[in-house]
Structure 1
């Protein structure tokens, strides 16, 4: 959140973590240097918090340097490419990547050392996985409480201090370093500005003043403008006509949809935010309003600060959910459905390049929205179109779903942001609205929505902010640079290709791709929310625990059997269309999707733990596996070219390669002892 470019490329952070952790595991027999963790942590804390204006400007301009060079749209970035800018961005990103990598090397060394020294390797690895689940639970609780970075640093420092308790010098070093980070990240946020941390992003809220009067509240996400709370009540508008810039109030962007459908009995607002569109629906006579918002903290701020108090109205029902999830699972039908500037400033998880709203703007999503429209209803998409191909894509999507082109118009800026409108739905209802000569004249004079052809987005290729399928130049260049950095780091540590255990390497690469596509599909089924991600990752870890338990109970289980299970379950998952899982019953949907989509993880867990035992639970094997996961993280970007289903095919191929590289020798003496003792204790 503090380095905004990583809000759009979170998987690069994941790759850095895997590199550091993997190198640490491989180097677990070398002396551990805790400074390699503490120094980068403190430097990163200083980097993102020091109020040095030149540094802040450089950090804030990183998205400009990368986004302008790319086919991927980043908000507020103009499409003016500059090789010099891109080079400068890479010069800054590489040290950040290195800092993150260095932080995890000692942690990986500790984990690798403990696993190698454990007398019962499977039990030790299982405890490690269960601890990861506990970490996810802690993460979930902190997100629920909207805790700032200072609290995260404090908890991380406390855990590390406890781990190092036996060494006074190390524990005090950790306590001092993390204490420094806590103090640094607790510094003031600036006069009149409040900074809050939602599960998705950093929120900054500042009053918008006209003289001594507060006329709005500006909301920034990740230090980038996001939305503004305004007051369009009749009383306020009467006394502040100058704010409207000469635009009649009925043509204000928030009131405009109700020129097409006056006093609708029911309205669905998707992306309700702080409440401007909800307030507009109430002002314009809506009988019932369902307001769907994904970010709980934004919703809370709207309830607390919005001038018109729309969320307090008895006519309004708030729903905390992902827009696609609501569309897919909703039963109620509406007279007016409004996509309210539904745009994302972050990705949905660290495992993919999918942004939170990508699954909202697909053919399948808009078809689901059409299903929730009443026969005479209208569907309105309001969007800030600053790239012609985004306008063209929206027009193409609506034309395909509704069978005819939408009505297009662009509202003027009038105490609000400007916005482009795409109006579809009942042709009869649109015809009646356009019979109003005032509306017809307004539409005719405001049809200047920029349009350019673009590929149609689907659930398999949901990259709404990418013009065409392919590898965006920024992703490709940065991935290549990071690959070179990774290769250099591996070579410089003496952990070269001849020490790599390729069986584990390909297992790691395959598993990361398998995990990425499972999380993407589960996000589509249950919503791209942080809570869904936490639950899905915990479920996958639980399957790994189950695989470990099975191998403890049946140590002679065949790896060939497990590989067969991987390939069969992946083939089933690939062949069943995702819409098959949209059952009316939530529990049936959970059960069937978990069984079909996640089953390959169970078999993959069997293969890994058997192989890990055969390798004597060596740090080198685990390091090879994690470095393979790093490569899988880079390969995940291929879905931006070939689609998400292709990740499953690629994962299957990598599992096949890992099968060819598996060790044929019998289980080592250490592994046999471990398996036998585990079976006896069971």
Structure 2
């Protein structure tokens, strides 16, 4: 037998490939679906919950005679057909939370119908893959199997990160998934041929769906449209371009004379001002930068999180502002930039910074969430010069959001902001030291509070929520997907249902998901909400898991009391020590201290899990229970809307205590 054949028949290699495929496909779907099913850009954790549920249920099916692995390709085709055929706006009839939509005339489908449909198909897709994984986990030592599962997961993340760096389109993502899947079917020729045919049909629909000329940045599908000449090809000179992200009109690029009046308001308000240093946050394709240049701002720092959008500005903007020597373009998360710079600015502009996606699939944070908190506004105040000005403008969609931002500005600056209101809830805020002697005018007036609203903070960074509560749309969605989950679980387990429930593995999974979520949120705040930071965090977590596995392989841990005690102690310290204590001035010291402190609970939790899994007699079922626990914990992540992210630690502690009760029960049963 050749070395290659032996490799493909190796259970370790098959676990590695299966886990790589699961992680890569998960990340691909989180990027692909929201580009077309637009509101899923704000519900990407629904995709993640579907993945967790599918993995958990699939592992429970490991011992079943029916093999569902061959259904992977047809189910993937079904999902792509759903996205291709409907290509819709999901209708959300709620005023409790704000979503940005495209104003297209595409088909409207109510969210309580389509979101569960997509959730169900995603769950079924990952059931097919996880059944295979569960079968493999049971064929070799559980701890060795778990090690190769984690190595495969790391490889899947790195592979998709490479796809993001290279700006590869979805056809390459799905072709990669298809290739990994077919590696697991090498010994089943008929099944492989059938799958190839179905996959090729799927790829055709993916190609048909992708708009010609679009570019896939690490955050969005992006394409340009010439307003003045719709037949104009991207890259050709024109005087009015519009950028679309995830099929939503997002930015304009025009000559200065055609720029909207609200861009120019601050310069008209202070016509004699000399703005020597300006910081433009959310600089995008350069429209705000161009206005600043034309109004004689001497030096401009333009911060933009998406490198593709900034590059399109360089290529397409008719006035080419990014080529001006006055301008320094910084590709970074704006909050991270503010935390790490010591410069003072005469003018800071938040230039229409809103996003069409969440910062991470692990939370309800949008890319701009940490820009719109009381602490972020205080950071801006810290970076203003003695006579500095802070300006914000956007289409805020509803009057209460305008009032909420004004209240936050008053809280951070200690003075009421001036405001100019336009049609469609467009508003411009101006505040800072320079406005102290400013008078009301025809265009600007001092804001007057009309209602009491909660201030968004780093702990509760939910700008687009009108109050501290869980909106009905989320509650309805969670009830529906919980019903789907329970129905599938009962269907799979039937009479067995909750008999032999692995409570220790289940609650360890639930707690771990919340700790993982809190860690991601912490790193978003400390280092920025960029895709690169998120990739590093996930890889770092998985490396912590590998260290825990190595510890359990090298040492025999007979008593789990000490890692359990240390885990609870460190979680207590996580709760008691304010996050701002980790905002150390030196980046690398902050990075090392943060990794050691925030990854310690992950390491300790996985020392406990790996120790239990090492002794497991039903590896697939226990792994499935752990992943179902992660699904359960993922639904509790919505409690952050009520309690803030910091208090998720308390819920995690409760789950760990429940897990330890089941661990004691398991130990007593083993000694009986």
Partner residue of 1:292? 303
1:38 is the counterpart of 2:38: no
Counterpart of 1:93 in structure 2 is 115
Q: Check the 8 A contact 1:390/1:451 in 2, yes or no.
A: no
Runs of 4+ in 1 over 4 A off after TM superposition: 210-214, 431-434, 447-452, 663-669
Distance 2:478 2:629 in 1: 15
Other structure's SS at 1:442 match: coil
Where does residue 653 of structure 2 map in the other structure?
Answer: 652
1:122 aligns with 2:143: yes
CA pair 93-211 structure 1, distance change in 2 beyond 3 A = closer
Distance 1:210 1:618 in 2: 61
2:97 to 62, 69, 72: 72
Question: CA RMSD, aligned part only?
Answer: 2.3
Aligned with 1:28 (options 62, 65, 75): 62
Aligned to 2:267: 258
- For 1:490, the equivalent position in structure 2 comes to 489
Q: Is residue 371 from structure 1 mapped to residue 382 from structure 2 by the alignment?
A: yes
Partner of residue 53, structure 2: 19
Q: Which residue of 2 aligns with 1:677?
A: none
Residue pair 2:53, 2:631 contacting (<8 A) in 1 also: yes
Q: Contact conserved, 1:36 with 1:105, CA < 8 A, in 2?
A: no
Q: Structure 1 residues 286, 557: CA separation in 2 closer, same or farther (over 3 Å shift)? A: farther
Q: 1:422 aligns with which of 422, 426, 429?
A: 429
User: Structure 1 residue 611: deviation in Å?
Assistant: 1.2
User: Structure 2: which 5+ residue stretches go unaligned?
Assistant: 1-34, 233-237
Q: Does 1:10 align with 2:44?
A: yes
Partner of 1:202: 221
Question: How much does 1:556 deviate?
Answer: 2.5
Aligned-pair CA distance for 1:588: 0.7
Q: 1:386 aligns with which of 397, 401, 405?
A: 397
TM-score computed with the length of structure 1 as normaliser: 0.87
> What is the aligned partner in structure 2 of residue 328 from structure 1?
339
Alignment of 1:39-438 (within 5 A): 39-50=74-85, 55-56=86-87, 59-60=88-89, 62=90, 65-66=91-92, 68-69=93-94, 71-76=96-101, 88-118=110-140, 120-187=141-208, 194-209=213-228, 214-232=238-256, 237=257, 252-261=261-270, 262-411=273-422, 419-426=426-433, 429-430=434-435, 434=439
Q: Structure 1 residues 505 and 188 mapped into 2: Cα distance closer, same or farther (>3 Å)?
A: closer
2:524 — aligned with what?
523
Secondary structure of residue in 2 paired with 1:616:
coil
CA distance in structure 1 between the partners assigned to 2:356 and 2:231 by the alignment:
32
- Per-residue displacement from partner, 1:507-561 (whole Å, max 9, x unpaired)? 1111101100110011000001111110001100000000000011112352211
CA contact (8 A) 2:374 2:456 kept: yes
Counterpart residue number, 2:602:
601
Distance across 2 between alignment mates of 1:512 and 1:665: 23
Could you list the per-position Cα deviations for residues 585-643 of structure 1 after superposition, in whole angstroms to 9, with x for gaps in the alignment? Answer: 11110111111111100000011111112223521111111111111111100101110
Question: Does structure 2 retain, via aligned residues, the 8 Å contact 1:24–1:112?
Answer: yes
Evaluate the alpha carbon distance shift between residue 345 and residue 266 of structure 1 in structure 2; reply closer, same or farther with a 3 A threshold.
same
Alpha-carbon separation, structure 2, partners of 1:189 and 1:468: 38
Q: Deviations over 1:475-522 (max 9, x none)?
A: 011101110110001011126222431111111111101100110011
Structure 1, residues 207-249: CA drift from partner, whole Å, max 9, x if none? 10269895412222222221221111xxxx3xxxxxx6xxxx8
Task: Give 2:592's aligned residue.
Answer: 591
